[in-house]
Amino acid sequence: MSSLNHSLSTSADTPLVIAGKSFKNRFFLGTGKFKNKSDLAESIRLSGTEIVTVALRRIDLERHEDNILEYIPDHVTLLTNTSGARTADEAVRIARLAEASGCGKWIKIEVINDSKYLLPDNQETLKATEILAAEGFIVLPYVSPDLYIARQLVKAGAATIMPLGSLIGSNQGLKTRELIQVLIEEIDIPIVVDAGIGAPSHAAEAMEMGADAVLVNTAVATAGHPPLLAEAFSMATHAGRMAYLSQLPERKNLADASSPLTGFLYEQ
């Protein structure tokens, strides 16, 4: 049965393509907040994720720490975020530093200057996207879901749009559901739902709506058993994708019997 399911879902789907690169797994994993790096490595392995995010920070000159990249297999695409950037210029600087490491040109633009809600600054994100896409970076901008900014980002050369589901790290799920749905309907490049996804059911919901992928970090990293949840997220993401491809029937307000309404035993 499972092999039938597998063959059905894989033959019905096409890989996710971002900047010419194909991905079978639509679950992206963030690498922050893991209590230990072995949990991270196991989460990557069990989820089968093909894209993970990392951040760039000053080296702690007093302590020699293991580098996170040692726990990420070579076949996994590194997506460096620009966290810490408060302006477009700071995001551009971080992107160029990341590129200098030789770890690729995949950049998740994240420009935040509000420390209470950690909401992305869409305007600065657009500026950074314009500059970096022109320099040949593969730019995945993280934004508040807004149709106009999404259209401008497409024009600027963004590879995907990453709308937030709810506040970063809040585990609240898809509070912006209707706005994300608009982006899914209207934007032709991949939509990757990022931030706030706190349970596999949220990931499945995003994928059922037609999102192309989801990115999860906090929920997995802060779970009691991160690798188990990473695998559950990956399965839910896949299940949501299969459901979307199956062309889910519409939701109705009234009952609609599942069993035939004729041939009852008491009929005369």
Task: Please say if 24 is a catalytic residue.
Answer: no
Q: Which of residues 187-226 bind another protein (CB under 8 A)?
A: 195, 215, 217-218, 221
Instruction: Taking each helix axis as running N to C, give the angle between helix 147-156 and helix 177-186, from 0 to 180 degrees, rounded to the nearest 10.
Output: 40
Instruction: Taking each helix axis as running N to C, give the angle between helix 226-245 and helix 200-209, from 0 to 180 degrees, rounded to the nearest 10.
Output: 20
Distance CA 82, CA 56 (A): 7
What do you get for the CA distance between the two ends of the chain, in Å? 42
Q: Which is nearer to another protein, 25 or 80 (CB)?
A: 80
Long-range contacts of 118-123 (CB under 8 A, 24+ apart): 118/167, 118/168, 118/169, 119/144, 119/164, 119/167, 120/144, 120/164, 121/86, 122/146, 122/149, 123/149
- x/- letters, 80..109, toward another protein (CB under 8 A): xx-x------------xxx-xx-x------
Residue 17 beta carbon to another protein: minimum distance, rounded to whole angstroms? 23
Site stretch for another protein (CB under 8 A), options 61-69, 145-153, 155-163, 206-214: 61-69
Say which residue the tokens 């620009």 belong to. Answer: 82
163 binds another protein (CB under 8 A): no
Q: Coil, strand or helix: which one is 214?
A: strand
Catalytic residue from among 37, 105, 108, 175: 108
Q: Site for another protein (CB under 8 A): which residue of 17, 69, 147, 248?
A: 69
Give the footprint of another protein on this chain (CB under 8 A).
30-34, 40, 53-59, 61, 64-65, 67-69, 78, 80-81, 83, 96-98, 100-101, 103, 168, 195, 215, 217-218, 221
Catalytic residues: 108
